[in-house]
Amino acid sequence: MIKLGKMKFKTETKRLLDLMINSIYTNKEIFLRELISNASDAIDKYHFLSLTNNELIQTDYEINISIDEKNRTLTIKDNGIGMTYEELNANLGTIAKSGSADFMKAMDDKANADKIDIIGQFGVGFYSAFMVSDRIVVLTKSPFSDTGYKFVSKGEDSYEVNEYVKADHGTEIVLHLRKNLGSEENLENSVDDFNEFLEEYTIKSLVKKYSDYVRYPITMLISKQVPVINELGEEDKEKTETKMELETLNSMIPIWKKLKSEVTEEDINSFYKSKFYDYQDPFSYLHLNVEGNITYNSLVFIPQKPPHDLYSEKFEKGLQLYVKGVFIMDKCKDLLPDYLRFVKGLVDSADLSLNISREILQQNHQLEKISINIEKKIVSELEKMLKNDREKYLDFFKNYGVNLKYGVYDKYGEKKEMLQDLLVYETVNGDSYITLKEYVEKMLENQDVIYYASGKTKEAILAMPQMDLVKKQGFDVLILKDEIDEFVFNIISSYQDKKLKSVNQGNLDLLSKEEKDKIEELKKEKQSLLEKLKELLKDDVSDVILSNRLTDSPVCLVSGEGVSFEMEKILSQMPNGKDNVKASKVLEINPNHQLFNVFESLYENNDEALADYATLLYDQALLMEGFAIKDPVSFSKKMCELMIKSNK
């Protein structure tokens, strides 16, 4: 039995309607996206059935929008599947399962209750039209029903359904737009401008913005100024008249849905520039048409230059998300790991539901799969570039390498296996960048660790006293220039079973057994001098030892295990840095250096100058390590005295 006339909305529907009607949500415009996507779904359904049902004739599918300024209506019409009486009641009379239901759930959550702002994140669907309309008329006819139906609602607690004569299948939704609040003179004070939805320009832009890639033509009559044709059939250049022309507002086939073989690099480049507001071609891009377990199309780009605000807190990473060609959101951050924040692009998937909300997105397995998949593809593309086009890769690395390093370091090295082979470093022996793998391949026979040193330039590193023995052995040393490098190497810790070792750190273990024994013996012999020096410098260093690595330099500072000097410097620049952990400092003295003899004789003669000499020695070591000395004035005074004394 079909019951016509007035019917009550279910309570939850009523609540949703209340929310929509009283909504102060600022993005009311999304209603158009919702109605167009419903229309597109309806055509999809019709088309799908027509493939197997001969009674359904395939037509030229179309979604038409029309504006009636006089009556203040906006109409969206499709020739899709339409609705039967039962469907009309089930679909528009109650909250359809999907998006709207999720939305209501979120609204039940107290924390969200006053955040009307979340509307746009849900596919609140059909009901969103009540944000802009005070009356909605739906005229619909299903090919499986003899008659059409008319649904009318003011969004209050009831709606009305009656039979309606409609010749063609499909649905026509007539929105009676709300009046602007406030009087004519008082327009600025009106919160909402509903009149704008009666303007061709607004509708055109909204379709471009949200529905450009809907598969079916979205048409509208557009007014054009054309020259008047005179009696002779010629154009009269002086006079124009307004003519209405049917225009298709959307571009329909998105470039990313085309097969790779169908698009040229030029097409992609110009698409990139217009879509992502760049004046340069992308540095590199990937066009992904993935089918199978998950189905999606994606275009991802690496810009030539990193965005200027890439490292600012305000920077938002993410890819644009489309579902079945319908724009969902601009920066879906779940689609990109942090270390790929510089990547721009978009993803379009048919596996996701249009009603997906931000909250749900985070736990969405499909989306997670897509994200992992894209990450892998980008990484493997970079691997390829590193292998096949080293020059290009180095260009990339100069701009974005720091991000990859961050990727290795982040989350306690969760991704180090995947990313460490993408890191390249300069070395002291070569003049190009190499990978860890290449370093290991070139290691000398008697070398079993990977050496690295932090410094601003290669020259500075070569001049470091700690380098003496390493240089003598001919071992290569990776040069670490970025602040994050030492943190990254700490996380990697070893590569292909070879330990990563800083030349600035203690126990380098570079000597033969004989040499070691000799040093041990010497240590015992000089024990008391070393103890004395240690006492003199007790506030500054944790130990004073004889060096087994220095050849030309009299002294050097090394750090113990744990925090390195470079790390200490970086940590000290952070907020409250003064209190941060410090590296433990060990002073290494070269027993073969002339200066050592001077210390010995001062010590033996109980000379008071020993204390000054010790601080001078320590200050020198500090300077060589790039630390500031504690008391520059006293340092300079002592130096002067010494110079004067030596020339007396």
- Cα(617)–Cα(589) distance, integer angstroms: 9
- Cα(18)–Cα(170) distance, integer angstroms: 28
Nearest Cα to Cα of residue 337 among 315, 319, 361: 319
Q: How far is the CB of 103 from Mg ion (least distance, A)?
A: 12
Q: Looking at this protein, which amino acid is placed at residue 31?
A: F
- Cα(168)–Cα(170) distance, integer angstroms: 6
Q: How far is the CB of 26 from ligand ADP (least distance, A)?
A: 21
Among 47-55, 96-104, 327-335, 458-466, the segment contacting ligand ADP (CB under 6 A): 96-104
Contact 153, 8 (CB under 8 A): no
- Cα(560)–Cα(27) distance, integer angstroms: 58
Of residues 94 and 542, the one with the C-beta less far from Mg ion: 94
38 binds ligand ADP (CB under 6 A): yes
100 binds ligand ADP (CB under 6 A): yes
125 binds Mg ion (CB under 5 A): yes
CA distances from 59 to 77, 168, 276, 284 (A): 14, 11, 36, 41
Of residues 50 and 353, the one with the C-beta less far from Mg ion: 353
Q: How far is the CB of 354 from ligand ADP (least distance, A)?
A: 6
Residue 80 binding target from ligand ADP, Mg ion, none, CB below 5 to 8 Å by type: ligand ADP
Q: Compose the 345-384 pattern: x for residues touching ligand ADP by CB under 6 A, - for all others.
A: ----------x-----------------------------
The only residue of 49, 96, 152, 443 in contact with ligand ADP, by rule CB under 6 A: 96
Measured CA angle at 202 (ends 196, 207), to 5 deg: 135
Of residues 31 and 475, the one with the C-beta less far from Mg ion: 31
3-state helix, strand, coil in the chain (%, to 5): 40, 20, 35
Q: Give the rounded distance of the alpha carbon of 150 from its chain centre.
A: 47
Of residues 219 and 590, the one with the C-beta less far from ligand ADP: 219
Contact 127, 17 (CB under 8 A): yes
98 binds ligand ADP (CB under 6 A): yes
250 binds ligand ADP (CB under 6 A): no
User: Pairing mode, if any, of strands 498-502 and 494-495?
Assistant: antiparallel
| Total residues binding Mg ion (CB under 5 A) | 2
Measured CA angle at 404 (ends 400, 407), to 5 deg: 140
Among 32-40, 197-205, 552-560, 630-638, the segment contacting ligand ADP (CB under 6 A): 32-40
Encoded tokens for 558:
């090394």
Residue 39 binding target from Mg ion, ligand ADP, none, CB below 5 to 8 Å by type: ligand ADP
Q: Compose the 123-162 pattern: x for residues touching ligand ADP by CB under 6 A, - for all others.
A: x-xx------------------------------------
Among 98-106, 263-271, 363-371, 579-587, the segment contacting ligand ADP (CB under 6 A): 98-106
Q: How far is the CB of 18 from Mg ion (least distance, A)?
A: 20
Q: Which of residues 561-600 bind ligand ADP (CB under 6 A)?
A: none
128 binds Mg ion (CB under 5 A): no
Residues present in the chain in total: 648
Residue 88 binding target from ligand ADP, Mg ion, none, CB below 5 to 8 Å by type: none
Q: Which residue has the tokens 């507001």?
A: 277
The only residue of 93, 99, 148, 282 in contact with ligand ADP, by rule CB under 6 A: 99
Q: How far is the CB of 350 from ligand ADP (least distance, A)?
A: 15
Residues whose CB is less than 8 angstroms from the CB of residue 82 and which lie 6 or more positions away in sequence, other chains included: 42, 140, 141, 142, 143, 145, 148, 169, 170, 171
Q: DSSP labels for 592-638?
A: TSHHHHHHHHHHHTT-THHHHHHHHHHHHHHHHTTPPPS-HHHHHHH
- Cα(139)–Cα(163) distance, integer angstroms: 9
Of residues 23 and 502, the one with the C-beta less far from Mg ion: 23
Of residues 82 and 407, the one with the C-beta less far from ligand ADP: 82
Residue 89 binding target from Mg ion, ligand ADP, none, CB below 5 to 8 Å by type: none
455 binds ligand ADP (CB under 6 A): no
The only residue of 13, 79, 84, 91 in contact with ligand ADP, by rule CB under 6 A: 91
Residue 373 binding target from ligand ADP, Mg ion, none, CB below 5 to 8 Å by type: none
Question: What pairs with residue 543 in β-bridges?
Answer: 586
Question: What pairs with residue 247 in β-bridges?
Answer: 220
Among 120-128, 129-137, 344-352, 475-483, the segment contacting ligand ADP (CB under 6 A): 120-128
325 binds Mg ion (CB under 5 A): no
Encoded tokens for 45:
């359904």
The only residue of 13, 23, 38, 371 in contact with Mg ion, by rule CB under 5 A: 38
Of residues 99 and 303, the one with the C-beta less far from ligand ADP: 99
- Cα(200)–Cα(242) distance, integer angstroms: 14
Q: Compose the 42-81 pattern: x for residues touching ligand ADP by CB under 6 A, - for all others.
A: x-----------------------------------x-xx
Question: Buried b vs exposed e over 205-226: b needs ≥16 C-beta within 10 Å?
Answer: ebbeebbbbbbbbbbbeeeeee
23 binds Mg ion (CB under 5 A): no
Exposed (0-12), middle (13-18) or buried (19+): which is 37, by Cβ within 10 Å?
A: buried
- Nearest position to ligand ADP, beta carbon: 125
Q: Which of residues 579-638 bind Mg ion (CB under 5 A)?
A: none
- Helical (H) or strand (E) element with 140: strand 133-141
Residue 478 binding target from Mg ion, ligand ADP, none, CB below 5 to 8 Å by type: none
Q: Looking at this protein, which amino acid is placed at residue 588?
A: E
Residues whose CB is less than 8 angstroms from the CB of residue 221 and which lie 6 or more positions away in sequence, other chains included: 66, 244, 245, 246, 247
Return residues touching ligand ADP (CB under 6 A). 34, 38-39, 42, 78, 80-83, 91-92, 96, 98-100, 123, 125-126, 171, 355
Contacting residues toward Mg ion, per CB under 5 A:
38, 125
